[in-house]
Amino acid sequence: MGRARDAVRHARRVASPAASRLRRELQWRRARVGRLLVGDGRAQPCRVAEHATPLFRPLAGLDEELQRGKVVNLRLAAARLDGLVLPPGAVFSFWRHVGRPSRSRGFVDGLVLDHGSLSAGVGGGMCQLTNLLYWMTLHTPLEVTERWRHSYDVFPDAGRTQPFGSGATCSWPTLDLQVSNPTAATFRLEVGVTDTHLEGRWTSDRPVGLRYEVYEAAHVMEPTMTGAFVRRNVLRRRVFDLDGAQVADEPVAENHALMRYRPFLPSGDA
């Protein structure tokens, strides 16, 4: 019986990646997620949203070599995405366009978060790119149709400029980031890696006529029965017209993550 169980477990491990890939490809077909065309190299005339994040962070426990590997991986992925055009009704899929991060395609070991622990993995570092894309897209009329939250909060806030939970994790091919264009405008994605930053921009062929402000609400850090802490919040988005009048205040996402560090608690708190 023991050998039979081991054989079943081995078969499941072998079949799992193939089954995940098949399920994802079927989803791409059902959602009509196709290969988007690359533009002619010229940005659309209207800048809609842009953002940049540093490539290297001086955080304890981060292997410098893995950070350098991450940059290699980001350059490869950015080259696959830069210039993609999202016409009305089209759907963008991160993994559909980046493809499987493998050594044969030039990807190297980079930083991977596995259940809240730091490790090395081929193609590691892609989450920095999906984080950037997600944050930028929240500042456009494009719709995020698939996004996976981070399940662990690994590092204490150090100079945080965005709300907790404003990123999107990814894992080939099961955890994807997908964006649809419900508007009549055509959008173009620009992504690049400099010596110090990952940079991105959404441009459009016409003004969108709206401005977006993402903020957090209901933010708490709560202890669990085990003594660990869980961090929760709600992301919301204010929408303003060109005159500065607020036209909407809408929920974006709910986040909760197990904290891998102990939060600072004021004196007297448990």
Residues counted in the chain = 270
Convert the pLDDT of each residue in 95-105 to its tens digit: 999 999 999 99
pLDDT on residue 119? 80
Show Cβ contacts of residue 218 under 8 Å, excluding neighbours closer than 6 positions.
232, 233, 234
Task: Specify the pTM.
Answer: 0.88
Q: Is residue 236 part of a domain?
A: no
Decide which of 159 and 110 is more confident.
110
Q: Which helix (H) or strand (E) holds 136?
A: helix 126-137
Q: Is residue 197 part of a domain?
A: yes
How many percent of the chain have pLDDT more than 70? 89
Q: Is residue 115 part of a domain?
A: yes
Q: Which residue has the tokens 């002619």?
A: 40
- On the question of pLDDT at 43 being above 80, the answer is no
Domain count of the chain? 1
Q: Is residue 18 part of a domain?
A: no
Q: Is residue 160 part of a domain?
A: yes
For residues 93-117, give the mean pLDDT.
Answer: 90
Query: What are the structure tokens assigned to 221, written together?
Result: 């850090």
E-state strands within 3-116: 46-54, 85-86, 91-93, 109-114
Query: Amino acid letter at 7?
Result: A
Decide which of 42 and 103 is more confident.
103
Convert the pLDDT of each residue in 195-239 to its tens digit: 999 999 999 999 999 999 999 999 999 998 888 899 999 999 999
Q: Is residue 261 part of a domain?
A: no
- On the question of pLDDT at 60 being above 90, the answer is no
Q: Which residue has the tokens 């493998």?
A: 102
Its domain, for residue 156, covers: 24-205
Q: Is residue 71 part of a domain?
A: yes
What is d(CA 234, CA 41) in angstroms, rounded to the nearest whole number? 38
What is d(CA 135, CA 245) in angstroms, rounded to the nearest whole number? 22
pLDDT on residue 11? 42
Decide which of 160 and 84 is more confident.
84
pLDDT on residue 268? 45
pLDDT on residue 116? 65
pLDDT on residue 265? 53
Q: Is residue 165 part of a domain?
A: yes
CA angle 253, 57, 120 (to 5 degrees): 80
Mean confidence (pLDDT) of the chain: 87
